[in-house]
Chains A and B, each alone.
Chain A
Amino acid sequence: MVELLAPAGNLSMVETAVASGANAIYVGPRGWSRRRDRYELAEEEVHDAIAIAHAGGAKMRVAVNTNMQSHEIPPLLQKMERFVGWGVDGAIMTDIGAIAEVHRRFPQLTIHASIGANILNNEDVRFYRSLGVSQVVADTKLTLKELASRKEQIDVGIEILIHANYCYTYLGKCWMSPYHRLERTTDPSGKDLFKGSPNRGGLDYRVCLESWQLFSGDAKWEDRVGLKNDAFFLVEDIPHLIDLGVHCLKIQGREYPVPLVGEMVRFYRGLIDAYLAHPKGQPFDIAPWQSRLAVFEADRNATRSEGTRLLLIEARQPIPTA
């Protein structure tokens, strides 16, 4: 059975996602996941999130998918000790060293290789399998053909982002944002938040979406160049992905308003259930789902555009002196 995985940037979102039909939820402990700290949870909130998810029959994963510093791996292991004790169902991770250490300490814990691991080919998957990873998030740029090849050749769970943005660069292989602005701040626990680095701290200023001019030498060739960055919501592909046997369909959006996340979860829950219930071999009418999607897609795009505008303003702000 395919799993619907939903984001939660606060406890209210956990409750809404569970009530809306998510099979699993993911949250990020503050400072340790690929999202801005305001969309992450304090440790005691992670405890409560696990309890809420389990009470609603859903699984809870914890995203500890920053590329951390060497000295942060021991505190990560202590943190994971607590999460495992509270019954967390899996960890979403990126750093290969941290993955190896967590797998060694908690061999029964399901480890998901994050989108930040940028797993592009079947040999990449074999590499992560050898570290103890049992599920991998497919890069957003992969084709159905590539996913089918992976499913056929390797014993690994595949997770697909059914709603996200295609970045211009490969996720996890980009440091354009901190090149322009990196703010070193620590949270009360001493965790460096690396504000501006999506790989290290989660906050991405989206500088790729700046209105760039293009110069060849000193000559301006173009007054405005847009680096490709399209939002996508998979609808037509959902039946194909289910037939292909993907393990998990994942929604992104810890930073979105709670009602919008609830709406997205209900939409995909309905679509998945409708497809699974329809008679095999009969055509599945996707048109009504496309119409429904258009309604909240506009909300989501407006939310993201405004977020991008504010981030680009923030990216130009001077770094505060200590």
Chain B
Amino acid sequence: MVATELNTSIANLRDLRASDLRHYDAVYLGDIYCRLYECNFLERPEDLREGLHILRDQGKRAYVASYAAPRNDYLPRVRKTLEVAAREVAEAVEAHNLGIVKIAHDEFPGLAVHIGGFANVYTDAGVEVLRGLGAVRFTPNYELSLEEIRTIGSTCGLPMELLIHGKMPLGVSDYCFLLDYEEKWGVKCPDLCQKDLFLRQGDWAMKSVGKGIMSGKDVCMLEHLPRLLADGHRHFRIESVSETPEYRHQVAGVYREALARAAEAAFEQDERWWRLVRAHARIGLCNGFYFGKSGMEYAGIRPEAAGSLLTISSADRAG
């Protein structure tokens, strides 16, 4: 049995309470994109404290996220969040911003820091810089291939965390274009970004969460788990901050089973897994940049996996 960590992200207390976390080992609390996200843990110290206790009571490792693109006026709030994380002995804080890495290092020396995907770690030399500032784990930039990640891992010796399923972050903005439509749609912030919104044109699609842009397709590394384990990876993220509690629970169930089987000599995949992950992927599945190709491509040996439910139903209709 290979010991792995399966983690995810949850933005607020409501979602945390609604989520069945039995398949997870750890959870990152907070939405990294927007200060106005509904009841964002990162804006509510009391909620964050309660969230950390809930996770601890369930025997989970409790991590605290932080904003991906904080301006000067965010920093007082960031410091408050780090204070709570340190006082409540959160297992780590995730930093996507190098200024926050520096704050954590200089002002909260006991707080473990995980480097997030927006911190732009592309090189082993970059990892060394961050290790010098106390980083204990990092997520390589999403643009890196598994081959490049292996190169970094072979020299840096610091644990890595990989997104193995879910919408891949593609960008972060200071501007929520959804606010332009509040009046027209009759939907106000903070409900706007929770409407399962996709930007689409032809076969292109991206999910919008207002200030965040994510892949339209779900990154899916299900059939590649044996390779990830063989490469020495042990920390895996299911990105579910913008998903439903059902998604969070069911996809984790699939990966928990699959990780156990992937550690065995023969990796037997269960058709039920594929039905579930495809049912939750509105646009389809992709591999991100892990195989050195365009992020929306799927490079697996199960070509049908790339098809979305929408594509399939179109084909059915045509037939």
Contacts and interface: CB of A to CB of B under 8 A. Distances in A.
Contacts of B173: 168-170
B72 A121 contact: yes
Nearest to B124: A70
B119 to A, nearest CB: 9
A276 interface: no
Interface in B40-73: 68-72
Interface string B104-136: 000000000000001010111111111000000
Q: Tell me the interface secondary structure of chain B in the complex.
A: mixed
Contacts of A210: 201, 204
B99 A121 contact: yes
Q: Tell me the interface secondary structure of chain A in the complex.
A: mixed
A213 B75 CA distance: 35
A70 B128 contact: no
Interface string A46-73: 0000000000000000000001111101
Given A73-B123, A97-B124, A175-B171, A123 B294 contact: no
B260 interface: no
A90 interface: no
A285 interface: no
Contact of B198 (A121, A178, A179, A214): A214
Given A121-B75, A173-B172, A215-B200, A70 B152 contact: yes
A126 interface: yes
B296 A179 contact: yes
B86 interface: no
A141 interface: yes
Contacts of B195: 216-217
B204 A221 contact: no
A217 B122 contact: no
A131 B129 contact: yes
Given A70-B152, A100-B129, A146-B71, A176 B213 contact: yes
A: interface residue count bin: 35 or more
B4 interface: no
B292 interface: yes
Given A121-B70, A214-B197, 17 more contacts: A70-B151, A70-B152, A96-B98, A96-B120, A96-B130, A100-B128, A120-B72, A126-B99, A149-B72, A170-B171, A179-B170, A179-B206, A200-B122, A214-B199, A217-B196, A217-B282, A319-B294
Of all A-B residue pairs in the complex, the 4 with the closest CB atoms, nearest first, are A97-B125, A123-B99, A97-B126, A169-B171
23 contacts: A67-B141, A73-B125, A95-B125, A98-B125, A121-B74, A123-B98, A127-B102, A168-B177, A170-B174, A173-B69, A173-B120, A175-B171, A176-B213, A178-B295, A179-B215, A182-B295, A184-B293, A207-B204, A208-B171, A217-B195, A217-B196, A228-B175, A228-B177
Given A169-B213, A179-B296, A216-B196, A126 B102 contact: yes
B143 interface: yes
Contacts, number: 200
A173 B143 contact: no
- Tell me which of A95, A173, A174 has the highest count of chain B C-beta atoms within 10 A of its own C-beta: A173
Nearest to B68: A173
Interface of A: 67-71, 73, 94-98, 100-101, 118, 120-128, 130-131, 141-142, 146, 149, 168-170, 172-176, 178-182, 184, 196-197, 199-200, 207-208, 210-218, 221-222, 225-228, 316, 319
Contact of B177 (A67, A121, A227): A227
A99 B260 CA distance: 41
Contact of B171 (A122, A146, A176): A176
A124 B120 contact: no
A181 B12 CA distance: 34
B126 A95 contact: yes
A124 B99 contact: yes
B83 to A, nearest CB: 16
Contacts of B171: 168-170, 173-176, 208
Interface string B143-154: 100001001100
Contact of B102 (A123, A174, A180, A208): A123
Interface string B197-241: 111111010101000010100000000000000000000000000
Interface string B283-319: 0000001001111100000000000001000000000
Nearest to B173: A169
A287 B52 CA distance: 58
- Tell me which of A123, A169, A213 has the highest count of chain B C-beta atoms within 10 A of its own C-beta: A123
Contacts of B69: 118, 120, 170, 173
A215 B185 CA distance: 12
Contacts of A98: 123, 125-126
A215 B198 CA distance: 5
Contacts of B123: 67-70, 73, 95, 97-98
Given A97-B125, A210-B204, A227-B177, A180 B294 contact: yes
Contacts of B19: none
Nearest to B119: A96
Contacts of B181: 221-222
Given A197-B143, A214-B197, A214-B199, A180 B204 contact: yes
A172 B123 CA distance: 15
Nearest to B215: A179
A123 B100 contact: yes
Contacts of A178: 143, 289, 294-295
B127 A97 contact: yes
